[in-house]
Amino acid sequence: MSLSLSQLNALSQAAATSELLTCCTSSQWAQTLADARPFADIEALLSASDAAWQQAQTDEANLLEAFDGHPQIGNVDSLKEKYRNTQDSAAHEQSGANDAEDAVLEALAQGNQDYLDKFGFIFIVFATGKSAQQMLDLLQARLPNDRKTELVNAATEQNKITRLRLQKLLGDA
């Protein structure tokens, strides 16, 4: 569902928080952003979102809550299933994997499991416009990192995803 900015501004606190949670599943981020309304324009919303995300990421639990809202890129069965339904926003964001060879999808699935085992959360990447091979290359490049570095990397990618989802929510992407 697409909203206008004025509609988002006019929603109750609970309804606005609920809509914002479709963009990022960090409840602190969504509540902080809902509290910051009204927004004059999309740039004001995105700036407030960035600020709310900076605040939310000071607590690892908020990061993990946001990361939990994502499908795992590279789960072969779920990827193939998602691409049958191009309406799904996460599938659209991961559409670069749509034409991937099974070997690349299998390597993504294995790399994702290795990442999850090492860091305790799934691999988060702004997948829009990236091929499955590019996502695999990014995953393999980030696997040697330490957990602290990966929390920062994943938080940065999460913010890119959130900004795109906010624009989509407002029909502006």
Q: Could you tell me if 56 and 75 lie in one domain?
A: no
122, containing H or E segment: none
What the block records as the tokens of 131 is 């091929």
pTM of the complete model: 0.84
**89 pLDDT exceeds 80?**
no
Which tops the pLDDT comparison, 80 or 46?
A: 46
Q: Which of 17, 25, 45, 70 is catalytic?
A: 70
> Are both 113 and 84 inside the same structural domain?
yes
How many whole angstroms separate alpha carbon 162 and alpha carbon 170? 12
Residue percentage of the chain with pLDDT more than 70: 82
Residues 6+ apart with CB under 8 A from 90: 70, 71, 82
Compute the distance between CA of residue 75 and CA of residue 70 in angstroms, rounded to an integer. Answer: 12
Q: Find the CATH number of the domain harbouring 113.
A: 1.10.3330.10
Domains in the chain: how many in total?
Answer: 2
Which residue from 128, 169, 172 is spatially nearest to 17, judged by alpha carbons?
A: 169
Catalytic, 92? Answer: no
Name the residue range of residue 87's domain. Answer: 71-142
Task: For 101-145, write each residue's pLDDT tens digit.
Answer: 778 888 888 999 999 999 999 999 998 888 888 999 999 999 999
Question: Which tens digits make up the pLDDT trace of 55-66?
Answer: 998 999 999 999
Structural domain contains residue 155: no
Residues 38 and 94 both lie in one domain: no
Compute the distance between CA of residue 173 and CA of residue 129 in angstroms, rounded to an integer.
14
